Chains A and B, each alone.
Chain A
Amino acid sequence: MTDQSHQRIHISAQFSRELEGVRDDVLTMGGTVESQITKALDALLDGNSELAEQVIALDSNVNELERSISDQCMRILALRQPAAGDLRLVLAVIKVTTDLERIGDEAAKMGRQAVLLSEIGVQEKIAAQVRDVAVRSITMVKNALDSFARLEVGDALSVILSDDDTDEAYANAREWLLLFAEENPASLRVAMSYLWILKGLERIGDHAANIAEQVIFLTEGVDVRHLDSQNTRDLLS
């Protein structure tokens, strides 16, 4: 019902432009973060330390965007006193940027681990495990950002629902990694590094799910945080 409202123009065109500006910045930030994790994964899998350094360097861009977006939100709250859909947009943006910034942090951490691991050389078997989780997490982020850009409740919902699969993939990968460590005690340091990376990927999936929850709050006005998937589905239908 209200999902189209962001395309409608305010009588104060300036206000519309301000809201648009914030949304655009969030999408820019999302794009940056997305390329960060993709690059981090590539750097990791290819043992490319140069790429990994790029990922780390991008983090300051992300932080800068977060600061600028929260400034804009504060100004809109103070000067425009937004209501209804506009209010939900501003609140959602504040939360989404926090999650994006965390994802950026996780990507930077992955980048640092990739630098370390590049000196040792890529362990193909482990990399396969990591790739499985990473692809899921990155897809979740991508889909969550798409659903935010298009205000698609259905897409957002599938992101939330796919988090369970990601968690499961993470649990499997972790078990595999523990077994690997037990069998190859000499590679314990390497295994620890990968465990860190896996944990980060799982967190990235959680953040993507949070972003999807904000998209649902923004479009439908309902809060689906901390609900299990069945309840979420019931609430939306």
Chain B
Amino acid sequence: MLATTRTAFLQRTRWQRLRSLTMISVSASMVTATLLLTLGLFALLFISAMEWIFWIGEGGSADVASRLRDIALARPGLESSVIGLVPAIVGTVALVMLMTLFVAPLGVATALYLSEYARDTWYTQLIRISITNLAGVPAVIYGVFGLGFFVYGLGGQVDQLFFSDRLPSPTFGTPGLLWAALTLALVNLPVVIVAVTEGLDALPEDLRQASAALGATKNETVFYAVLPAAMPSVFTGLILSTARAAGEVAPLMLVGAVKFAPSLPVMTTAPFIGLEQKFMHLGFQLFDAALFSTVPPGGIGWVATIALTLVILIALLNIVAMSLRSVILRRQAVDSPF
């Protein structure tokens, strides 16, 4: 009797051990597969890009230096599809920066309102759920909204009010950097709000009590105690949205990204930024190159180059954001989610 239960027990544990061993090996091989796939992808990108970049010869550049210059700068006419990486990088960075400028205060303010000020009612619950759902709406729909609301709606109004002398040719009433940034800010707003709200909700109630007990008013508590403590999640939200803004293509096609812009949207003299200008964007270039490129040999080299640049740029943007984050948080030493 005792012996049978004993063996049953042993068998069960053996079976369980087998099961967990299987689980471990399956997940380990999946992780390895993912890693290999990523590495392979990068290797492919890297090799094709390099092959293409250093391709010198017939119908191409004379030497490596001029080849690099050709790729970096817009030289229409030389190779009709290669329009230069640098303007696209500049456009992408300008877009991301501007978008962050909009999304950060708006997202943080909304999150603060939702979790610090608003009472917890069915109405605020509904708003929270809606915001979470908005994060799942396809970005191109925001593009349509941006085109209708920002470009034609707001832009048209602005033109009539401030630039009526230039009409009928539109100034702000046409896709441009400002509208693209605002549209992307809308795309990313739910992401930032959700990240920050979650960060705020996770803060211990102790923190607010400690502040109140020291004679802080509600606002002082929110701004001097709560918000600084929630900075990690603010940065998490912004890092997420940066990557998304740099990689997003579909809405940008509607609100301002172009294949070739005659001038950069940033300049060295005031006002330093051309808010109404069309701009070039790496993601859009990639899309364009993949579909319409005729660049030899075989086109894939040019596409790979843009893709590699985009990936590196996003990595760089993240590194910048993260180091900014660690500089600001140096004194807090809270457990980092990264």
Contact flag (A, B; Cβ within 8 A): no
B interface residues (Cβ-Cβ under 8 A, vs A): none
